[in-house]
């Protein structure tokens, strides 16, 4: 396994024959990342994992400086996963000067996470475009926990004519049901207990659709009640401060809110700050035709 920045990457890439898969990360690798790497390893002859904490996607007051950077552990995880190259550029390599030309997420990037974190997806799409250009992957694998990010990368590939296959990996969860995330390590035991209200609310909504054939309004009501109950219980027990940013039912293709009688593939999206940690999660739902 080789490790390096842009010059080393370019030299390595010129020597390769066969297909290349990319798993972009900001490091702090966990079981979700390992699942991404395992899936990518199955799809191509060579695996590149990028580790770069991208400052463009952090807004003022966000956790850029405290974002975990356990580089040695990350390298060991990449080697165990069978990575051929770990692209770990220095900040100055990726941004020798403040970029004047960037990629924007448009209307799809201005809702949900984009509404609460203006410019976030512009930063994500700009760095992903740079990674695609530098690495020239045939395949890239993203997790579906960050479903809005996945949807925007899908549009990026289509709109800018990248010849790259995009694979989405379903949400990976810890044993207690919480979606795996590098930010989970910020949670205290009490905060983690409160955060479990999120996957429980999503699971209740999924059950309502799958078993009770609930329509969108009832499905959203089930999720809201379960989330409220869970968070109120945490507050009553002296738990952490919590803030629900959104709990929304949207069309899986457009991320637009669904109508009351929607039929087809939908997503239930949630974002909640527990203590000082923002957590996102989602569940796919299928509303069958009558």
- What is the tens place of the pLDDT at every residue in 95-148? 999 999 999 999 999 999 999 999 999 999 999 999 999 999 999 999 999 999
Write down the CATH number for the domain with range 182-287: 3.30.1300.10
The response to whether 183 counts as a known ligand-binding position is yes
Is 148 annotated to bind a ligand? Reply is no
- Average pLDDT for 159-180: 96
pLDDT category of residue 238 using cuts at 50, 70 and 90: confident
% of the chain exceeding 70 in pLDDT:
100
pTM of the model: 0.92
pLDDT at 235: 78
Please state, rounded to an integer, the average pLDDT across all residues of the chain: 94
Residue limits of CATH 3.30.1300.10 in the chain: 182-287
Q: How many CB atoms lie within 10 A of CB 44?
A: 20
The beta-strand segments (E) located in the chain are: 2-4, 20-25, 46-51, 85-87, 139-143, 165-169, 242-251, 264-274, 277-287
Q: 234 pLDDT exceeds 90?
A: no
Contact criterion met (CB below 8 Å) for 52 and 88: yes
End-to-end CA distance of the chain: 53
Confidence of residue 158 (pLDDT cuts 50, 70, 90): very high
pLDDT of the residue at 67: 85
Residue 74 has pLDDT above 90, yes or no: yes
Q: What angle do CA 253, 258, 263 make, to 5 degrees?
A: 80
Please check if 143 is assigned to a binding site.
Answer: yes
Q: 233 or 114, which is more confident?
A: 114
The reply, when asked if residue 172 is annotated as ligand binding, is yes
What are the residue ranges of CATH 3.40.50.620 in the chain? 2-169
Per the annotation, does 30 bind a ligand? yes
Which tokens in the block code for residue 125?
């799409």
Known binding residue 188? Answer is no
- 119 is an annotated ligand-binding site residue: no
Q: Which pLDDT value is given to residue 237?
A: 73
Q: What is the pLDDT of residue 20?
A: 98
Does the annotation place 56 within a ligand binding site? no
Decide if 54 contacts 87 (C-beta within 8 A).
Answer: no
Assess whether 245 carries a catalytic annotation: no
On the question of pLDDT at 253 being above 70, the answer is yes
Taking residues 185-197, what's their average pLDDT? Answer: 93
pLDDT of residue 290: 66
Region 233-238 average pLDDT: 78
Q: Which residue has the higher pLDDT, 139 or 290?
A: 139
Whether pLDDT at 217 is above 70: yes
Asked whether residue 164 carries a pLDDT value surpassing 90, the answer given is yes
Q: How confident is the model at residue 50 (pLDDT cuts 50, 70, 90)?
A: very high
Set 33, 46, 120, 245: catalytic member: 33
Q: What is the mean pLDDT of residues 244-272?
A: 95
Domain 2-169 - what CATH class? alpha beta
Task: Give CA–CA dist 72/57, Å, rounded.
Answer: 24
* Token pair listed for 232: 């109120």
Cα 74 from Cα 26, distance rounded (Å) = 10
């Amino acid at each position: 396994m080789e490790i390096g920045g842009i010059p080393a990457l370019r030299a390595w890439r010129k020597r390769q024959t066969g297909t290349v898969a990319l798993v972009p990360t900001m490091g702090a690798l966990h079981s979700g990342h390992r699942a991404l790497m395992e899936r990518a390893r199955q799809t191509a002859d060579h695996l590149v994992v990028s580790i770069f904490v991208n400052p463009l996607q952090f807004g003022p007051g966000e956790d850029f400086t405290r974002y975990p950077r356990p580089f040695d552990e990350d390298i060991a995880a990449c080697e165990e996963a069978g990575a051929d190259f770990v692209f770990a550029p220095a900040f100055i390599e990726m941004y020798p000067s403040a970029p004047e030309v960037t990629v924007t997420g448009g209307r799809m990037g201005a809702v949900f996470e984009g509404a609460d974190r203006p410019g976030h997806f512009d930063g994500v799409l700009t760095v992903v475009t740079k990674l695609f250009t530098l690495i020239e992957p045939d395949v890239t694998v993203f997790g579906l926990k960050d479903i809005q990010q996945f949807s925007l990368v899908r549009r990026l590939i289509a709109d800018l004519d990248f010849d790259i296959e995009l694979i989405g990996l379903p949400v990976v969860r810890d044993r207690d049901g919480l979606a795996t995330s590098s930010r989970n390590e910020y949670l205290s035991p009490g905060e983690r207990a409160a955060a479990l209200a999120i996957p429980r609310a999503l699971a209740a909504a999924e059950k309502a659709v799958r078993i009770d054939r609930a329509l969108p309004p009832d499905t959203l009501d089930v999720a809201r009640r379960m989330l409220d109950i869970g968070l109120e219980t945490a507050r009553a027990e002296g738990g952490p401060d919590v803030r629900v940013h959104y709990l929304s039912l949207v069309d899986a293709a457009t991320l637009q809110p669904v109508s009351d009688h929607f039929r087809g593939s939908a997503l239930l999206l949630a974002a909640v700050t527990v203590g000082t940690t923002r957590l996102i999660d989602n569940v796919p739902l299928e509303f069958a035709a009558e």
